[in-house]
Structure 1
Amino acid sequence: MDLALIALSARPLAASAARAGFAALSLDLFADLDTCAHAARCVRVHKKNGCSFDGDDLIQALTSLAPAGLPVVLGGGLEDDPALMLRIAERNPILGNAPQTVRVLKDPIALAALCGHLRIPFPAVTLEAPGADTFADAPVLEKKIGGAGGAHIRRRAAGDLSPPAANHYLQREVAGEFISLLLLANGTSALIVGASRQWRADDAEHPFRYGGAAGPVALPAAFAAPMREGALNIARACGLVGLISMDFMVDGDAWHLVEVNPRLGATLDIFDVDPLPPLLGLHLAACGGRMPEALPLPAEFHAAGVIYADRDLVVPPGTWPEHVADRPPAGAAIARGAPLCTVRATGPTVEIAEERMRARTAALRREYGLAPAEASV
């Protein structure tokens, strides 16, 4: 066993590890067919509070299956629990950004201060009850500190001056297109791997839930230079290492950084493809200080969208199409609101790749008796 992978969904990490020739132990909440196929050992960890790790069960699984000192790579799903990250690091070194670094970058007040110092536009935030003029009558979002996947985000009713819930914060909502930059960093320098556009898969209960991504895309010409420079400055200022992503909202008049994710994420589906080398290998090398001089862009454009179940269902027997990832096994119970699978497509342009992905998604939703879905930017 070369390393352990821990994420709410470890499939993208496991696929990259297999592409790089690593034998990996995967610990996540799903242990789907694809993750099991890519990993040397695949274990499903108990859930807590809907879609979070049961920390004690995770530590028990790691202790039982991974020798002390086996390095760990973390994906999404632990940023809201730096204490759990510290428990992992006590026995198994984390190849990536330290829990203390993650805690700072997921502190909205600290990130706002850093952006102010670096002159990076960042929407106003508060941990307290807003005053009548705190957000200047703009729409306001309430977010979980360290939350991932967007399902935790809610839009506040106009005029609501109550404080945010415990471990939540308020942020002024900014309009525009959701653009994510994937970067590789080694603590002192960084380079941009590529940009992707993202969209929501919203419903009444989850108005800001992550829906998918497509790319690579070009940054808007008017803001490309300051967006790149802002992302690189944050990576350098914080001494970030490995693969990281930074999320922006961009419209015709302005751009804003809205989040920093100091770990590997969902856009591996877009960029861990030929002719790029395996990104997990690049991540490990960068954590050790080694960086390539430059990276090529993917040979094709890629799109990947998540299908969420709009009702409780049981996966029937049958064969999944080749363009589907995160495939649950036959007989698996999928709760309403939970992810069913990821649908992927490629094309000669990003628009064609996304169009193909949406056609495949619609066909699969019909097959499973799910209502048609319209993604939101």
Structure 2
Amino acid sequence: MDIALIAISARPLAASAARAGFAALSFDLFADLDTCAHTARCVRVHKKNGCAFDGDDLIQALHSLAPTGLPVVLGGGLEDDTALMTRIAERNPILGNAPAIVRVLKDPIALAALAAHLGVPFPAVTLEAPTAETFGGAPVLEKKIGGAGGAHISRRAPDDLSPPAPGHYLQREVEGQSLSLLLLSNGSAARIVGASRQWRSQDEEHPFRYGGATGPVALPEAFAAEMLKGALSITLACGLVGLVSLDFVVNDDSWFLVEVNPRPGATLDIFDTDPLPPLLGLHLAACGGKLPEVLPVPAQAHAAGVIYAAHDMVVPQDAWPEFVADRPPAGASVLKGAPLCTVRATGPTPEVAEARMRERTQALLRDFGLGAVMEPAP
């Protein structure tokens, strides 16, 4: 084994590792067909609290299967449990940002203070019960500290002045387009990998759930220079290393930083493609202090959209189309609201790539009967 990969869904990391020629050991919550195909060994870890790691099960699996000292790359799903990150690092070094750095960036008050110090627009936040003046009458979101994927976000009722739930915070909602900027950093300098446009896959219970992304896209001309300056200032002020992404909301009049993800994320699906070198290889080199002089631009635009199960269901026996990733095996049970698979497409522009992805999604939903209700167990 060359490396261990740990994420809620390790498939994007695993695909990049395979592209780089690494023999990887992966730990995630799905162990889908694609992750298994891309890795030397794929381990499904027990879940708790819906879609989070059972930390004890993860540590036991890591100790049983990964040699002491085998380096680890972390993807999404651990930022809300930096104590678990610390447990991992005690035996297997993390090639990426340390738990202490992640803890600061996922502390909404600390990030707000850092953004204010660096002159980066950031929506008002609080850990306390809001007053009428806290958000100036603007709509308010409640978010889980360290949460990922957007399913943890809800909109507050206008007259709700109660404190956030434990482990949550309140943030002023800003309207606009969601954009994400992927950077490669060695702690003292950074390179721009690319920007992507994101959208929601919302239902009544999950109005802000992550739906997918397309890119590369251009940042809005009116704000591009400021956004790049803000992203670089945050990244370098924290000494971040490897692949990191910064999420923004942009409208006609303003832009705001809303989140920093100090690890490789979902947009690997967009950017880990020719003529770019394998991004996991670039991540490891950057963690060791090395950056490429320049990074090429992807030859085409790419789009990747997540399909969530509309009902409890059993995965059908039909063969998955080649444009589908994160494929669960036939006969697997998928609960309502859980991610089912990812649909991908390419095109000459982001708009064409996204349109093709949406056409494929509709065809898949129709042809596979993916709205079917799972039959109760006998």
When normalised by structure 2's length, the TM-score is 0.98
TM alignment of 1:1-377, pairs within 5 A: 1-370=1-370
Q: How large is the Cα RMSD of the aligned pairs?
A: 0.6
Provide the rounded CA distance (Å) in 2 between the counterparts of 1:201 and 1:102. 27
The answer as to whether partners of 2:247 and 2:258 remain within 8 angstroms in 1 is yes
The answer as to whether partners of 1:191 and 1:232 remain within 8 angstroms in 2 is no
Superposition deviation, residue 191 in structure 1: 1.4
Provide the rounded CA distance (Å) in 1 between the counterparts of 2:293 and 2:125. 37
Provide the rounded CA distance (Å) in 1 between the counterparts of 2:314 and 2:370. 12
Tell me which amino acid in the other structure corresponds to 1:349: T
Tell me which amino acid in the other structure corresponds to 1:57: D
The answer as to whether partners of 2:318 and 2:368 remain within 8 angstroms in 1 is no
Provide the rounded CA distance (Å) in 1 between the counterparts of 2:240 and 2:350. 29
Tell me which amino acid in the other structure corresponds to 1:101: I
SS in 2 for 1:274: coil
Provide the rounded CA distance (Å) in 1 between the counterparts of 2:350 and 2:123. 29
> What runs of 5+ residues in structure 1 fail to find an aligned partner?
372-377
Superposition deviation, residue 318 in structure 1: 2.0
Tell me which amino acid in the other structure corresponds to 1:217: V
- Report Cα offsets for 1:118-166 as digits up to 9, x if no partner: 0000000000000111000000000000000000000000111000000
Tell me which amino acid in the other structure corresponds to 2:195: A
Provide the rounded CA distance (Å) in 2 between the counterparts of 1:112 and 1:334. 38
Aligned equivalent of 2:376: none
When normalised by structure 1's length, the TM-score is 0.98
Provide the rounded CA distance (Å) in 1 between the counterparts of 2:269 and 2:230. 24
Provide the rounded CA distance (Å) in 1 between the counterparts of 2:366 and 2:164. 39
- The runs of at least 4 aligned residues of structure 1 exceeding 4 Å deviation read none
Superposition deviation, residue 366 in structure 1: 1.4
Provide the rounded CA distance (Å) in 1 between the counterparts of 2:5 and 2:71. 9
SS in 2 for 1:30: coil
Provide the rounded CA distance (Å) in 2 between the counterparts of 1:199 and 1:237. 29
Provide the rounded CA distance (Å) in 1 between the counterparts of 2:20 and 2:315. 31
Tell me which amino acid in the other structure corresponds to 1:367: D
Provide the rounded CA distance (Å) in 2 between the counterparts of 1:116 and 1:217. 27
> What runs of 5+ residues in structure 2 fail to find an aligned partner?
372-378
SS in 1 for 2:369: coil
The answer as to whether partners of 1:164 and 1:170 remain within 8 angstroms in 2 is yes
Provide the rounded CA distance (Å) in 2 between the counterparts of 1:137 and 1:81. 33
Aligned equivalent of 1:374: none
The answer as to whether partners of 1:243 and 1:263 remain within 8 angstroms in 2 is yes
Provide the rounded CA distance (Å) in 1 between the counterparts of 2:232 and 2:3. 28
The answer as to whether partners of 1:82 and 1:103 remain within 8 angstroms in 2 is yes
Tell me which amino acid in the other structure corresponds to 1:61: A
- Report Cα offsets for 1:64-97 as digits up to 9, x if no partner: 0000000000000000000000000000000000
SS in 2 for 1:91: coil
The answer as to whether partners of 2:316 and 2:368 remain within 8 angstroms in 1 is no
